[in-house]
Structure 1
Amino acid sequence: MFETKITPRVSETDGVGHINNTFIPTWLEAGRHELFKIFTPDLSFENWRMVIVNTNVDYINQIYFGQDVAVKTWIKKIGNTSIVLYEEIHQAGQVCVKATATYVNFNLKTQKPEPIPEDIRIQLKQHMLPESM
């Protein structure tokens, strides 16, 4: 699992006092930073490999300004050219968001998906979602 701390900002808070739902996908992406480095160690867009093709977000509990959140990211499935992530955002001991995202290992030069190399698969397997979840 990858875990990233986010400190909610005043500007992300909406008129009813909770974090606006439009910021949640950005926070989820921030939680993928170390995963991006597995596919593109130098994080250069010239060598970028990960293209997002699907996201789903379930809002479970409200998130508020003034208390940090934890974005937790697991690998749910490793396919031939793609991976599925399972993600959660926690605040104050509660799960507030559950999400999934699918990324394809994509070659920008050829504009085609490519099989995920074995060395990357080995690293991804270290972050698999436990079967009990």
Structure 2
Amino acid sequence: MLKEHFKVRFCETDGLAHVSNTVLVQWFESAREPIFRMFTPKLDLNNWPLILASYKVDFLKQIFYGQDVEVRSFISRIGNSAFDVYQEVWQNQQKCATGLTTLVNFDYELQKAKPISDEIKTLLLSHQINL
């Protein structure tokens, strides 16, 4: 499991003092940075190896301003060229949302998916969860 902490900013809240639904997608992407680094340690945008194929967010509880959140990231599936990242947002020891993202190891020059190396698969497996 990978963990990232975020301070809920005032600009991320609505008139009811809870976090806007669009913010979670940003938190999830930021929390995936350690996974991105498995593929490109320096986050080299000129040699970026991944594309986002899909994402889904489920909202379980409201998330409020003034209380930090923790995003927990796991690998829930590893295929030949694609893998799924399962993520959770926690606030006050309560799971408030989940997300599932499919990423594809992609060759931009050939415009097609390419196999994930065994070395990277081993790194991904170290964060695997069975759902």
Could you tell me the TM-score, scaled by structure 1's length?
0.96
The corresponding residue for 1:122 is 122
Q: What are the residue-to-residue correspondences of 1:1-133 with 2, within 5 Å?
A: 1-129=1-129, 131=130, 133=131
Query: Cα offset for 1:16?
Result: 1.3
Query: Cα offset for 1:120?
Result: 0.3
Partners in 2 of 1:115 and 1:9 — Cα distance? 39
Residue 3 of structure 1 aligns to a residue in which SS?
Answer: strand
Gap runs ≥5 in structure 1: none
What CA deviation, in whole Å up to 9, does each residue of 1:72-94 have, x standing for no partner? 11000000000011110000000
Runs of 4+, deviation exceeding 4 Å: none
Gap runs ≥5 in structure 2: none
Identity %: 37
Residue 17 of structure 2 aligns to a residue in which SS?
Answer: coil
What CA deviation, in whole Å up to 9, does each residue of 1:23-71 have, x standing for no partner? 1100110110100000111101111111111101000001111111000
CA RMSD of aligned residues (A): 0.8
